[in-house]
Amino acid sequence: MHNLSEQNFIQQLSIDCVIFGYRDKKLQVLVNKLNFNGDFWALPGGFVYHDEDIDKAANRILQERTGISEIYLDQFYVFGNAKRKNLNFIDALIALNPQMLLNGEKNKEEYDWFTKRFISIGYYALVDINKVVPQKTDLDESIQWIDVRELPQMIIDHNAIVSKALESVRLNLDEKRLAFNLLSETFTMKEAQELYESIFDKPFARNNFQKKILDLNVLERLEKKFTGAANKAPFLYRIKK
């Protein structure tokens, strides 16, 4: 673990990031598999320095835990149940590796710090999966994109955090033009529809969908090139500049 000393971080406050990507017609989430014996899956998360804006902290944490930088993260909810503790997680780790607590006073202090009740601020982003290269750290066995509907059991309440993030994405999708971040620069109406279907986990009627999307007034249709082949191809769209 990095240095969790209370001198550095605001106590009892964490940030967890839900990064959505889209591939093979499936909505996916970026998840770290922690580098401990046992299956410990976790969202990329961390803590806030005393002199750091929380939005900057979210970006720093994401970069430290995934290598991904320069994306726009949105706050979506604060998880503040009183029973929300790392305790079960850390107890399991210590059961697996009792040495952890036997490395002297400093570790004991870190343990106390880390086992308090934490309030976590959730941030999400939707990214073009082809434009980011997630990188694992020493903390992780691996870092993976996993289908949002096939996530493993994660630590603490991280599965609930993903559910709430998905709810926020659905509510804000149109208003914030978020969805199109997940697609390549140009895309067909069918591709947009498949994306929406993966996010809402339900089918849309083609005509209604097309009308709804065009009514958002954020897309422009590209001119077809007048070759024989292209005329049979579907129209391509992109976000208006």
With H, G, I as helix, E, B as strand and everything else as coil, classify residue 74: strand
**Of 45, 208, 212, whose CA–CA distance to 137 is shortest?**
45
The CB density around residue 87, as the number of other CB atoms within 10 Å, is: 15
- Binding flag, residue 175, a second copy (CB under 8 A): yes
Pick 31 or 165: Cβ nearer a second copy: 165
The CB density around residue 202, as the number of other CB atoms within 10 Å, is: 8
Pick 128 or 157: Cβ nearer a second copy: 157
- Binding flag, residue 36, a second copy (CB under 8 A): no
Distance CA 40, CA 37 (A): 8
Q: Among 10, 100, 101, 218, indicate the residue that binds a second copy (CB under 8 A).
A: 10
With H, G, I as helix, E, B as strand and everything else as coil, classify residue 34: strand
Q: Among 26, 36, 52, 177, indicate the residue that binds a second copy (CB under 8 A).
A: 52
Which segments within 68-164 are labelled E, that is strand? Answer: 74-79, 119-126, 140-147
Pick 80 or 234: Cβ nearer a second copy: 80
Shortest Å distance, C-beta 7 to a second copy: 13
Shortest Å distance, C-beta 78 to a second copy: 5
Site string for a second copy, 132-151 (x = CB under 8 A): --------------------
Q: Among 70, 82, 150, 226, indicate the residue that binds a second copy (CB under 8 A).
A: 82
Q: How far apart are the first and last CA of the chain?
A: 43
Pick 90 or 100: Cβ nearer a second copy: 90
Shortest Å distance, C-beta 182 to a second copy: 21
Q: Which residues contact 8 (CB under 8 A, 6 or more apart)?
A: 47, 49, 50
Q: Among 63, 75, 137, 188, indicate the residue that binds a second copy (CB under 8 A).
A: 75
Contacts by 218-222 with C-beta closer than 8 Å and gap 24+? 218/177, 218/180, 219/180, 222/186
- Binding flag, residue 64, a second copy (CB under 8 A): no
Pick 49 or 235: Cβ nearer a second copy: 49
With H, G, I as helix, E, B as strand and everything else as coil, classify residue 173: coil
Q: Among 3, 24, 51, 240, indicate the residue that binds a second copy (CB under 8 A).
A: 51
| Residue ranges in 178-197 that form contacts with a second copy under rule CB under 8 A | none
101, β-bridge pairs:
none
- Binding flag, residue 216, a second copy (CB under 8 A): no
CB-based contact 186:220 (threshold 8 Å): no
- Binding flag, residue 11, a second copy (CB under 8 A): yes
DSSP state of 223: P
* Site of interaction with a second copy (CB under 8 A): 10-13, 48, 50-57, 75, 77-78, 80-82, 117, 119, 121, 171, 175
